[in-house]
Structures are given as structure tokens and as C-alpha cells.
Amino acid sequence: MRVRIGDVVIGDDMPVAIQSMTTTPTSDVEATALQIKRLEAAGVDIVRVAVPDEKSAKAIGEIKKIVGVPIVADVHFDHRLAILAIKSGADKVRINPGNIGAEWKVRELASVAKERGVPIRVGSNSGSLPRDLRGEDRAVALAEAALREVRILEKVGFHDIVISAKSSDPIETIRAYEYIRDRVEYPLHIGVTEAGVYETAVISSSFALGYLLYEGIGDTIRVSIAGDPVREVIAARKLLSALGLRREPRVVACPGCARAVFDVERVARRVEEKLFEVGKPITFSVLGCYVNGIGEGENADAGIAGIDGKRFVAFKRGKIVGTFKMVEMEDVIEDLLKDL
């Protein structure tokens, strides 16, 4: 089943879309648009903004005049805010009908969303499971809580649905999505919630989302990381690239042992920055020494390997193109990238 979010389509065999969420107050149009622009530059496909009040709902219209990616309005409890966000131009809303209250309110929201072709993401979160489901198998409870929300929308005749079921525990997250995949066909937004600070978040998300995507589960992903959301987008891109789901710029760097004749990490990071600037799916290899020849770099499009404290070799598509002085490294890398 496919769902359209602005000009991005997810579901079936469509590419997995990368999502992130802004951290600025949505009512601050300038700051939010600026952050979305940074996310766009990093490669985001869809951006979610929190809509806690009317000012934020109305701001979506203004933000959309400045940015190019589809915007998802994240609303809690108040169906009027969700309707206002849709009328303001939101391309999707994230709300739980179970929190909205009376059925007529859900019906009213669903009818506005349907009229404007705006999908609704519903779902569950391990932090806010309904009371009657707590105590069961937590993964099943998480999945059932999400499906409960789905059924409310289906009851009012709305089927333009995306589902999420996020736990802060990666294994619970995996099991919950597998459970949902076995029961409904709606596209799935996958993610680990409250994943934590950088390293923990990246490891938890890479494991859970990597496992799910490898199984063919997941149509849009968010790698939740506390802090600057641009890092979420970069991590998501790298994850999709590792899974072979996207072709991305890639730096293959050796870990740099005592044989390394230059600072491998510093050079690898610098090359990575350049590759992302260029935006082409180039694989570049950075090797601290020449002990294995260009061995590990043989499959890369290009690369460098240290010889001694003064010299390094540069290679392209498995062939050495020359020996250079260390001081020339920046320029040589630049030239190799230009050639590619």
C-alpha cells in the first residue's frame, strides 16, 4: 500500500524516506525554516514539526513558502489543531485518534484530511501505552496499541494511514513492527524512541532499524538522536547506504594502527565532508600505511595510502596514479574527487 506525503510517496517498493524533526519552536517561522533548510541540505525527505498551539499550526503555511520538503504536523489531543495544520498546508499529520476523544471529532479530522489528500500517522510509544494493555508482552502491547488507533480511523472510513510503534528498547521495537507487518498492509514509519545521546542512539537505531529494513520492514525512518537533528539525517543516510538501500558517498578508512604515517581519522573526516559537499555516491579509501599495498582500497573509486612520514600514494579504481608529498594531500584529494 502506498501513501503520498506532499511529493514523497512511501510504501510498497518505493525508496525508504528519511525523516527528522525540528527542535525550534514551530511558531518561530524563521528559525524553523532555517533548521529545515539545513536538514534539506543534509538529505532529509520529510520533516516533522511539533504543533502545540494555534500559532504553530498557522506557521506551517509560512514555513512551507520557504522550504521544499513535505511537512508533518505533530499534534496531541486537539483535533482542531490538526485540522488547522492541514488547512495551513501540512502534508501529513501525526496524531492518535485515541487521544482525541469523541468519535465525531475523529470523523471531522478524517474528513478534512481525506478532502485534502493528507495522510495520518498513528501509532504507539512505549512511554504512553494505554493502561489496559500494560503488563502484557510489551512488544505485543505496543503493536496492539498502534493497531487500536488504526481501527478508529478505519471505522470512520479513513485508510490513508502510516503506522509507528516505537519503543526505547530496540528488540521490543523489532518485535512490535514484525507483529504489525503480519496483520496490516499500511506503510510503516520505523524508529526507536528516546534513543538517547549520540552513540547510544546510533547503535540502538542501527540495530533495530537495520534489522527491520533488512527484513523488508519499514517505509520511512527516523534515527532519533538528542541534539542537532542534522545528525539524525546523516546517520539515517549512512544506515541506508550500509544496507545497500541508497548509494551514498562513503569513506572507507582503516582504523589507523601504529604503522599509520598520518592522522587517519582527521583525513577521513575531512574527505567525508568533501564527499557530502559533492553529493555523489563516491567511495573513497583512506589507509594510514602501505603495508597491504592498496589492498583494502581496491574496491574504492579512489583513495590514498601513506608510505612514510613524507609521502603517500594516490590511487583511482584500483590503479596507482602517483606518489606525492604529504603537504600536497589536500590538493591531491581535491583533484581525485574532481576527476570522479
Binding-site ranges for ligand SF4 (CB under 6 A): 254-257, 259-260, 287-289, 291
Closest CA to 286 of 270, 299, 267, 307: 267
Q: Give min distance, CB of 264 to ligand SF4, in A.
A: 6
Q: Which is nearer to ligand SF4, 228 or 298 (CB)?
A: 298
Cross-strand bridge partners of residue 302: 284, 316
Cross-strand bridge partners of residue 56: none
Q: Which is nearer to ligand SF4, 177 or 290 (CB)?
A: 290
Q: Give min distance, CB of 260 to ligand SF4, in A.
A: 4
Q: Which is nearer to ligand SF4, 171 or 252 (CB)?
A: 252
From CA 57, how far away is CA 112, in angstroms rounded?
A: 15
Q: Which is nearer to ligand SF4, 200 or 323 (CB)?
A: 323
Q: Give min distance, CB of 286 to ligand SF4, in A.
A: 9
Q: Give min distance, CB of 276 to ligand SF4, in A.
A: 23
From CA 250, how far away is CA 283, in angstroms rounded?
A: 5
Q: Give min distance, CB of 301 to ligand SF4, in A.
A: 18
From CA 275, how far away is CA 84, in angstroms rounded?
A: 41
> What ranges make up the beta strands (E) of the chain?
2-5, 8-11, 17-21, 46-50, 71-74, 92-94, 120-125, 161-166, 189-191, 220-222, 250-253, 283-287, 302-306, 311-316, 319-325
Q: Give min distance, CB of 259 to ligand SF4, in A.
A: 4
Cross-strand bridge partners of residue 324: 312
Phi/psi region, residue 224 (left: phi>0; alpha: psi -120 to 50; beta: rest), is beta
From CA 334, how far away is CA 85, in angstroms rounded?
A: 46
